[in-house]
């Protein structure tokens, strides 16, 4: 596969991954599909949601490279050695965004959601991240593979599963973005050296019979 075609594949691949990151990050603002948590000015949302790893890192910082990288695989002003050289820098922006999204989504999974926890033997409830807080035995073991611990969060309903699924999707998409942008860095380097294979194929002059 020539470098120009490789750029088109990378650019096309980044589009759905960036959209997945954006959509998942936006959905994280609405636990239990309820807007009241957003109306609370983020006081009941985890910092990892507010850091916008999927929206900014996996989304915007990879959509812009996706547009340009895809353009380098076509004929025109971008489909040349200079265009491939610039695509390296855009790909590095995508790498930085993907690394940010991976970091934030990993923290989101490790720390768990912010939820209303009911204290044992008491009707008192408190909003906190129970799987992160050292005040509770819940933080001494990973909750990700022990679903029986998820019932500790009484509000919003199903917030732990909601948090795990969406952050996992952002993490998976961002890892693929990191791979594709890394491929484009190498592809852009070879494109600078060898060209994009996008030269116009002019037909040879036909010989006329005398």
How many structural domains does the chain have? Answer: 1
How do residues 164-181 score in pLDDT, each as one tens digit?
A: 999 999 999 999 999 999
Residue 146 placed within a domain: no
For residue 63, which of 22, 124, 4, 105 has the smallest C-alpha distance?
Answer: 22
Residue 21 placed within a domain: yes
Round to whole Å and give the CA distance between 157 and 180: 36
Round to whole Å and give the CA distance between 56 and 117: 30
Residue 129 placed within a domain: no
pLDDT of residue 126: 78
Containing domain of residue 73, as a range?
Answer: 3-112+158-194
Task: Identify the band that residue 90 occupies on the pLDDT scale cut at 50, 70 and 90.
Answer: very high
Residue 143 placed within a domain: no
Top-confidence residue, 122 or 132: 132
Residue 59 placed within a domain: yes
State the pTM of this model: 0.84
Task: Identify the band that residue 48 occupies on the pLDDT scale cut at 50, 70 and 90.
Answer: very high
Residue 13 placed within a domain: yes
Given a contact cutoff of 8 angstroms between Cβ atoms, the answer to whether 139 and 133 are in contact is yes
């Amino acid at each position: 596969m020539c470098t120009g075609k490789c750029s088109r594949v990378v650019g096309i691949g980044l589009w759905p991954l960036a959209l997945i990151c954006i959509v998942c990050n936006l959905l994280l603002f609405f636990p239990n599909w309820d807007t009241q948590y957003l109306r609370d000015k983020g006081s009941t949302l985890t910092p990892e949601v507010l850091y916008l790893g999927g929206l900014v890192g996996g989304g915007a910082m990879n959509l812009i490279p996706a547009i340009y990288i895809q353009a380098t695989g076509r004929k025109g002003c971008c489909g040349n050695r200079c265009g491939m050289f610039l695509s390296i820098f855009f790909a590095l922006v995508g790498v930085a965004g993907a690394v940010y999204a991976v970091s934030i989504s990993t923290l989101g999974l490790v720390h768990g959601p912010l939820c209303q926890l009911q204290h044992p033997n008491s009707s008192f409830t408190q909003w906190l991240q129970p799987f992160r807080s050292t005040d509770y035995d819940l933080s001494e073991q990973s909750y990700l593979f022990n679903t029986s611990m998820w019932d500790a969060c009484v509000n919003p309903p199903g917030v732990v599963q909601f948090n795990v699924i969406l952050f996992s999707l952002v993490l998976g998409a961002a890892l693929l973005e990191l791979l594709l942008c890394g491929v484009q860095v190498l592809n852009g380097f070879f494109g600078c050296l060898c060209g994009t294979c996008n030269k116009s194929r002019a037909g040879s002059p036909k010989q006329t019979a005398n």
